[in-house]
Structure formats: structure tokens, C-alpha cells
Amino acid sequence: MIGFIGLGIMGHPMAKRLVEAGFNVVVSDLDENKVEDLISIGAIRGNNRVIANKCELVILMLPSYESSIDVLFGDNGLISSENNIVKYICNMASISPGESIEISDMLKEVGIEYIDGPVSGGEAGATSGSLAIMVGGNEGVLQKFEKYLKHLSSSITLCGSIGAGSSVKLANQVIVNGTISIIAESFNMLEKSNIDVTIAYDAIKNGLASSKVLDRMIPFLVSREFKAGGTLSINYKDINNIIKTADNKLISVPHSVIVKDQMKTLINRGESQSDHTVLIKYYELINS
């Protein structure tokens, strides 16, 4: 039996895949509709206390460091629950390496082992079970979770010690969000030149500029519907973590600083829950 806490854009399809694979999954989320949906296909209803009492292994898929801390160490958190049997936690949230290390150290004090296991692949990858999972921590702890993670992913890579998975995820986010911004800039230029988006994509997609990011972005540019697979607000949080981590290491990340400013402009214009491909609107705004 495994606990799964956090049923958002990513967590819900991930937990669903585990239930459909035949595992006993105890699920918990603030959104009761998400919980009910999984109960209807065989999941077990839970909360922090129930999961602490029933599950030695727990997966967290929460939106932030703060929510992870609250679920683990809050007044109604896993750690404060009586008859707590939790031994291993895999935190798949996208947080900073320093935050992963801090959580691991706090859990170690109460005898719980921890790995960080953030993912890349978006909602589509979560739904199809083709996520890339980047793990930091002990190989033995990873092995405890491996039979579950295999149903969620196309690759599981142990990147190093605690925090290494989070470090690689931040590097992934530098590439993804930076690439989205560059694609947005280039296609805004094409639009201003009255070039059809789909024709331009057909011309580019088999050349050196091809990428999974480009392939994913084109349908958003064509439909102009930015229903989130990865919200702007979540990616803005990641960009902030990139800059904070870089500052701690005295590293300059100029491209990420630019992308952060672009995201902030759009968030202030009400786009926080749009997909991060909405960055095209930044270029349309400054070039209008």
C-alpha cells in the first residue's frame, strides 16, 4: 500500500495510473472532486493521518516547498500523526536543492528516509506514463519506490545525493522555459511578417531548430487556447528557485532573469493559470 498526496494537474493522472495498475493507493488532496474521481476507480480515501497510519511509502506531488512542509510537519501533518508507520518518502514536487536537503535532514531526525524525484513531461507525460524522473538520494530508497515509478515514467535516473534530482529539474526548467521564450519571440516575428504559423513549423521541424518543446508549443500558438499542462505560476516558481539557487552559488543566470520578468508581466495581466506557452503574449504585448 502506498500513499499519494497531491492530485493537481500532474498528481491526479499519476495517481490514476497507479490505481489502474492494480496498486492499493491511499489518496489525499484538498480538492474533494479529484479524490472522488479516484475513489470511483478503486483508490482508498485518505488524509495525512490515515496515510501515516496505513502506508510505509508515501509519494508527494505538491505545488511548493511550503505545501510539502505543511503536509509533513504541520499540525495535521504526517509526522505529527499518532501510530505513524511511514518509513520512506519520495517528494516529486519541483523545489530547490537546498529545500530538498532541508526536508531530508528534518525527516532523518524522526527516522524517515527521503528521496527527491521531480519530473518532466507535463500533464501529457503524467497521463501517458512517459515522465522523465530525476532522483536525488540513496539507491536503496529509490528501489523501494521503483515498481511504482515505472508505471509513471519512460526513464528514472539517479542523479546523485539528496538535492541532485532537484538540481537537474531546475536545469531542465532553464532549458524548457528559455526555449519557450525564444520560440515565442521567433514566431511573433513570423506573425508580424504575415507568415502562417503551421507553414513555418513544417519548414522548421525537421531542421536543427526542432525540439520537443517546439512540437508541444505549436498547437497552443495555432489554437490560441492556453489551457495549462504546466501553469505559468508553477513555472514562475521554478524560475525563482533557479535564480535563488544560482545566487547561493554565485552563478549568473541572465536568460532566466529575463524569462522571470516576462512571466511576471503576464501574471500581473491575469495569466497565472495559463499554460507557460502563453509567453507568446509577452512578445505580442511589447510589439503591439
**Residue 201 C-alpha from the chain's centroid:** 27
* pTM for the structure as a whole: 0.92
In order of start, what are the domains of the chain with their CATH numbers? Answer: 2-161 (3.40.50.720), 167-286 (1.10.1040.10)
Q: What is the mean pLDDT of residues 83-99?
A: 95
DSSP annotation of 94 reads -
150 is catalytic: no
Q: How far apart are CA 104 and CA 89, in angstroms?
A: 9
Confidence category of residue 80, pLDDT binned at 50, 70, 90:
confident
- The number of residues in the chain equals 288
Q: Is the pLDDT of residue 200 over 90?
A: yes
Average pLDDT over the chain, rounded to an integer: 96
51, 58 contact by CB (below 8 A): yes
Q: How far apart are CA 204 and CA 149, in angstroms?
A: 35
Scanning 150-253, the segments in alpha helix (DSSP H) are: 164-192, 197-204, 212-223, 232-248
Q: How far apart are CA 54 and CA 121, in angstroms?
A: 30
Catalytic residue among 169, 237, 260, 281: 169
Confidence category of residue 210, pLDDT binned at 50, 70, 90:
very high
Residue 28, SS3? Answer: strand
Q: What is the mean pLDDT of residues 204-222?
A: 96
| Cβ count within 10 A of residue 83 | 8
Confidence category of residue 58, pLDDT binned at 50, 70, 90:
very high
Confidence category of residue 228, pLDDT binned at 50, 70, 90:
confident
